[in-house]
Amino acid sequence: MNNKKIFEKIKWFIAILFIVAGIGAMVESVLAGLVYIIGGLFILPPTYNFFAEKTGLDLPSGAKWVIVIIVINIPPLIIQNLNNPENPSSLSNEKSQLKNSYNDESDIKIIKEYLSKEKRNLTDENGLRLMYKVDISTDNIINLASSDKNKNIAPSKDDDLSSSLSLHLSVRICSFSLSLNGNHQKEIRRIAQVFTLKYLDIFGKYTTKDYYYFPDIDDISKRKKILELVTDFSLIVQSVVPKEYTNMLASQGLDVKSSKFSYEWANISTELIKKSNILQYNSLEDI
């Protein structure tokens, strides 16, 4: 068998490998698969001869092998780029998967069931203990707005504004980890509107308090109560700020219930909530 026949067989073998690889690569990327298939047809003697005859272009052997090497390297790069987490297409696919799971009404029902049973003493038909537990963790945080530190409300000895109270608004994708008697049952992701109050405590350190509202789980009345709290300075003083702190301010002759602070805080907080559009984020599709 002469060298020419050996090279012909090698070309056939490589061409078939390329075509088979192209068909397989189409699962990951149609473009990557087409590159392999076109490369295989280019190497295949009958199709190359047809190409050379129609174009009048007969490439030297070295040029052909350079093209083969290039063809080998292009598809993996295409597939790698598609699987890159920073690639918009990849992000779109991930978001689509999350959206599909998010819209599962049965998941909402399961979460509500676990939440209702979590604090109850339950047993099965045989009297064996049933302990339901819901752990909530944050996967992603999208910060929407934060009140200007130079305009936050808090009385000082000069009875003016300082930076000891602020409101921060965010949307968070949270995971509900459901377990029964310590055995993990399911992980479900949901969106939350989060209202965070940050205040300077009596020890001179900032303390934060988060108020979560899950649009498809919580009753709308819960959000109304949260909004009422975070926009009402007197309610914040009564419910959030430690009594020791308000007593200390009162001993300095400062009235934390002053209408001046209430009006200014109401204006700052309500405008912040409106501009942030936090109330419009009710599902993953809204992000």
Task: Render each residue's pLDDT in the chain as its tens digit; 287 residues.
Answer: 566 677 777 778 877 887 888 788 777 778 877 887 887 787 787 887 777 777 777 777 677 677 777 777 777 776 666 555 445 454 455 455 544 444 567 888 999 999 999 988 999 888 899 999 999 999 999 999 998 654 445 444 443 334 467 899 999 999 999 999 999 999 999 999 999 988 766 566 778 889 999 998 999 999 999 999 999 887 877 776 666 666 666 666 666 666 667 788 888 899 999 999 999 998 877 77
Q: What's the mean per-residue pLDDT of the chain?
A: 78
pLDDT given at position 81? 67
- First-to-last alpha carbon distance for the chain, in angstroms, is 67
State the pLDDT at residue 215. 93
Would you state the pLDDT for residue 177? 94
Residue 167 pairs in a beta bridge with 197
| Tens-place pLDDT, residues 59-91 | 776 776 777 777 777 777 766 665 554 454 544
Q: What is the predicted pLDDT for the residue at 90?
A: 47
Asked whether the beta carbons of 172 and 194 are under 8 A apart, the reply is yes
Q: Do residues 89 and 82 touch, judged by C-beta distance below 8 A?
A: yes
Looking at residue 178, its pLDDT comes to 94
Check the CA dihedral 107-109-112-113 and report its sign: negative
**266 vs 231: CA distance, rounded Å:** 5
Side-chain half-sphere of 278: how many Cα atoms within 13 Å? Answer: 30
Query: What is residue 229's predicted lDDT score, i.e. its pLDDT?
Result: 92
Q: CA 190, CA 284: separation in Å to the nearest integer?
A: 8
Strand partners, 141: 172
Distance between CA 48 and CA 61 in Å, rounded? Answer: 12
Query: Which pLDDT score is estimated for 161?
Result: 35
List, in order, residues 6 or more apart from 42 with CB less than 8 Å away.
Answer: 48, 51, 64, 67, 71
Tokens coding 83? 């699987």
